[in-house]
Each structure stands twice: as structure tokens, then as C-alpha cells.
Amino acid sequence: MDYERLEVDLQHSPAIKLLRADNAALILRFFHQEFKREPHVSLHWSAFVEHLEDELERIHLTAPGRYPRSAQAYVSDWADQQFIRIIAPVPGRSEKPTVELTADAERAIGWLDEMHAQPFVGTESRFLLVVQMLQDIVHKSTEDPQERLAQLEQQRDELQRQIEDIRATGKVDDRYTSTQVRERFFEATALARQLLRDFHLVEDRFREIAHSIQERQLQPDIRKGSLIEYVLDADSELKLSDQGRSFYAFWDFLMAPSQQDIFYTLLDNLRHIPELQPVARADDILRRLPAYLINAGEQVVQSNSRLAEQLRRILDEQARAESRRVRELTTEIKFLARQIGDSLSNEEGFLELEGPPFVSLIMERGLWEPSETIPVEMQPEAGDDDLTEVDFIRLHTQFYVDEAVLCERIESILALRPEVTLAHLLEQFPLDKGLSELLAYCSIAAKSTSHRIDSTQKDVVPLFSSSDGIESPKVVVLPRVLYRRNSDEK
């Protein structure tokens, strides 16, 4: 640790200021109550202020005059000290301002959670986790095929030995004890909370890039090309950094339907372990972890989207400024031309042309002429194919795609999970009406603020189900369509 850096951090870090604040107990308890007891990434500003008013009234009953200021004054003060972040409404996404915790507030809450969270320290599980990570690094970092094969064969032999032991004895000898089960459960919940806190660090990095763009915009004589180059380089650098690679790998993993199915199966099996039923009911963060991770990850993705919107606004403003400057220069040239128009001498050349001028008159165009009609004297011959058994009803049968039915299908899947892709939805409800029904699904996603169409990822969906009897059905490659449960629903 560097002494100068520590001195600056202890004086200016918002996390340290929060712990040293006179009303730190009120702030930390209220933050934990609003954001951690029922984990939320963000809350509506009006609901946040209303809950704080209720908390202040409750404290006033036992300690009158302890907190004399209004709830809105405290919220504004916390925002100024960088304990919370107030997000303005974004057209098309949210209609009300929201409140989020900053990364520094997450650190302060995390420190206090580590002081009281677990009933005992799981030394065995932590040590085995360290050993497992080191083994994983050693095994997955080798480039020698023979060495990797030897590692896999060793794992295969160990698995085969365990299988033979169970078959021979009819018992499972390596089953965890109740202490080991609880120890690993507490360690998993602690890692889950730490993961949720770390999302704000990634989001803060996106905000730093957006602030850098705004600062460069204010520089005089900034060129559009250099600004674009900076933004694209910064965005690419973020995605290719260790933090960016880790986050987007996690996001792709979390969005995969197969991985979501595996995760939900694990959580369901966890509920049926007798040793965990009392502690799992007291702390259900793992049960709700998929929805929390999706909401937190969506916040980071939206931060990246806001960065792109910031770039677009900057370029639009500069383009309008350039167009306005061109109009001003054109007006000045016309004004000067009128002033000196009469003073020019006819003998002096005003403009020189290289070669004869090219003149194109309207009357030089040819008149309309009717097209030549080709007479057909021969009738087509009848073919030898037998069309009596061909069903031509599809050529003229009209059908109607009922979007209400499609919405019911989407809601039935979202009742079981927080989000689902169109490709996964069509596995449960194959297309009945081909391309028209597929376009209706996309239209539903485009018209709703809860759903999203991600053009950076592609999905392949069949136009017909396997039951239609088509050997090689046509498929459509389209951007990933993601249906999400309404954020107001539980």
C-alpha cells in the first residue's frame, strides 16, 4: 500500500466518509433495508423518499429531534456525497427518476456484512476452493496435448474408481456432513452478494468513459474524426480488458437458455437438502439470484448503450453546428457578391472554364413511345405431372395471426423464469403460420419497453416445426429477441 494514496483515500473516499458520517447508522441501515433485504439494483425516487420519511417518523417516536431535516434534504445530501446516484428518466426505458447505490456505498455495506454475516468461518471450504482454482489454472493453461490428455485420463480413472466403489458397496462414502453442507452454502451466498456488489464497479467504468467524452467535447477545435476514434478505441479497450472480457463472458453465459435451465435445476435441488432448509428459508438470495443477476447485468449493458447514445448526440450537435456554419458562410458570400457586383469590369474574366460547357436541356429528352407488344400465337402444352393430389388450398387460404395468443404464450414462459429468448420460446411453441407469426413475435418485442431486440447477437429459428413433414425446413437468422418479465412484477 502506498502511503500517499492511503492518505488521499482516507480523506476523500466516499466509502470512508459514509462510515465516518454522523448519521452513518441511519444511512447504512436504510440502504440495507431498501437495497439488500429484498435485493434491488435501483428504486423509484418517489418510493425511496417515501420510505425514508416513514423511517424518520419511526425514529422520531423514540428520539425526537435527532434527525430534524426532511427526507428529500437527506436524499439530496447523500447524492452530493456520492453515496447514491439519482438517474434521470430515459425516454423509452423509464418514466420516473430512479435511485441506485454507488460502488463506494456497496463497499461500506459489504464491510459491515462481513462483520456479521456468517455464524462461523468456513476454513475448509475456502481452502478447498483455493486448491480447486489453482488446479483449474494449471490444467486449463497448458498447451501440451499429451499433458492435457494425461490430466483428463487421471480424472476419468478417479471417476471410474468412485463408480466401482458405489456399485460394490451400495453406499455413498464421500457424502458431505451437515457442517460441510452449511459451510459451503454460506460461502456460496457470500460470493453471490459480492458478485452483486461488483456490478457497480463495472458500471462506474462505463460512466468514466462517458464523462471523458463530455470533457473532450468541450475542448476547442475538436474534430469529429478524432472524437469518434477516441470513443471507439475506449469502448473497444473496455471490452477487451480483463474486466470487460470477464463481464461479457459472464453475460453470454447467463443469457444462454441451457445454462439457465442448469442453474434453475441446481437451485431446485438445493431446496430439498434437509440440512439447508432452515438456513435457506432465512436467506433466499440464491433462490432469487438469477433474477438479481439479470437485472444487475442489464444495468451495465444499459450503461454501455447510454455511452453510444452520448456519442450519437455529440456527433449530431457537431453536424448541426457545421451545417449552420456553412449556411452563414453562404449568406456572407451572397452579400459580398451583391456589394461588388456592379463594380466588376466586363473586360476582366470572373470565371474560367476548362473546355466547352455541357448543356442539358429538358427539350432534348425524347418523347414517350409505347412499348412493343409481342403477340403469342402458340398455347402452352399440358404437362405430364399428375396434380390431382396436390393441395393448392394454401395458395389462397387467408389466416390471421392473433397477437393476444402469442402474448399469452410469452407470459406462460415468463411466469416460470424472468426472461426467455424467442428461439427458446419457439422450442416450446413451434410456429404455426410461418413468417407472419415470426414477424408478429418481433413486433411484440419492439412495441414493449420490457422486451429487447439485441442486434449484436444472432439466433437461428426454423420457419416450420418438425411435425410438418418437411425434410429440410427453412430457417431464419435474426437478431436475438429477448422477452423479459415486467420489472414491477415479482
Q: What is the DSSP string of 135-152?
A: HHHHHHT---HHHHHHHH
Cell of 36: 439488500
Query: Would you put residue 123 in left (φ > 0), alpha (ψ -120 to 50) or beta?
Result: alpha
> Which residue is it, cell 459580398?
336
DSSP 3-state percent helix, strand, coil across the chain (nearest 5): 60, 5, 30
- Interatomic CA distance for residues 257 and 476, integer angstroms: 19
**Strand order from edge to edge, sheet including 42-44:** 42-44, 98-101, 84-87
- C-alpha 367/C-alpha 135 separation (Å) is 84
H or E segment and range at residue 251: helix 242-255
Third-level CATH fold of 3-115: Arc Repressor Mutant, subunit A (1.10.10)
pLDDT at residue 110 in the model: 81
Q: How far apart are CA 19 and CA 65, in angstroms?
A: 22
CB 74 within 8 A of CB 30: no
Rounded to the nearest 5°, which phi and psi values hold at 297?
Answer: -65, -35
Our CA dihedral for 459, 462, 467, 473, rounded to 10 degrees, sits at -140
End-to-end CA distance of the chain: 44
What whole-number distance in Å separates Cα of residue 407 and Cα of residue 445? 10
> How long a stretch of residues is the chain?
490
Q: Domain segments of the chain: what residues? A: 3-115, 179-335, 397-484
Cα dihedral value 173, 282, 37, 128, nearest 10: -20
Q: What is the pLDDT of residue 165?
A: 86
What Å distances lie between residue 228 and 78, 225, 238, 318, 322, CA to CA? Answer: 35, 5, 15, 12, 16
Type of residue at 390 = V
Which residues have a Cβ under 8 Å from the Cβ of 28 and sit 6 or more positions away? 18, 108, 109, 112
Residue type, 120: F
Q: What is the pLDDT of residue 475?
A: 84
Measured CA to CA, the distance from residue 176 to residue 181 in angstroms comes to: 6
Per DSSP, the residues of 295-352 read HHHHHHHHHHHHHHHHHHHHHHHHHHHHHHHHHHHHHHHHHHHHHHTTTS-TTS-S--
* Cα 288–Cα 292–Cα 297 angle in degrees, nearest 5: 150
Name beta bridge partners: 476. 461
Q: Interior CA angle at 387 toward 384 and 392, to 5°?
A: 150
DSSP 209: H
Find the radius of gyration of the CA atoms of the chain. Answer: 33
- In a structure prediction context, what are the per-residue pLDDT tens digits for the chain, which is 490 residues long? 678 888 887 888 888 888 888 888 889 889 888 888 777 778 888 899 999 999 899 888 888 888 888 989 999 999 898 888 887 776 655 668 888 888 888 888 888 877 765 565 667 777 887 888 888 888 888 888 888 888 888 889 988 988 888 888 888 877 888 888 877 887 787 777 777 777 777 777 766 766 666 666 656 666 656 656 655 555 565 566 666 677 777 777 777 777 778 877 887 887 778 877 777 666 667 777 777 777 777 777 776 666 666 666 666 676 777 788 889 999 988 888 877 766 666 666 667 778 887 888 888 888 888 888 888 778 777 777 777 777 777 666 666 788 889 999 998 888 888 888 998 898 888 888 888 888 889 989 888 878 888 888 888 888 765 555 555 567 888 889 999 887 555 4
Handedness of CA 215, 219, 225, 229 (dihedral sign): negative
- Give the 3-state secondary structure of residue 42: strand
User: pTM, whole model, 2 decimals?
Assistant: 0.48
**41's grid cell:** 439494483
Which residues contact residue 480 at a Cβ distance below 8 angstroms, ignoring those fewer than 6 apart? 421, 422, 423, 453, 454, 457, 458, 459
H/E element holding 84? strand 84-87
Instruction: Show Cβ contacts of residue 446 under 8 Å, excluding neighbours closer than 6 positions.
Output: 453
Residue 98 one-letter amino acid:
T
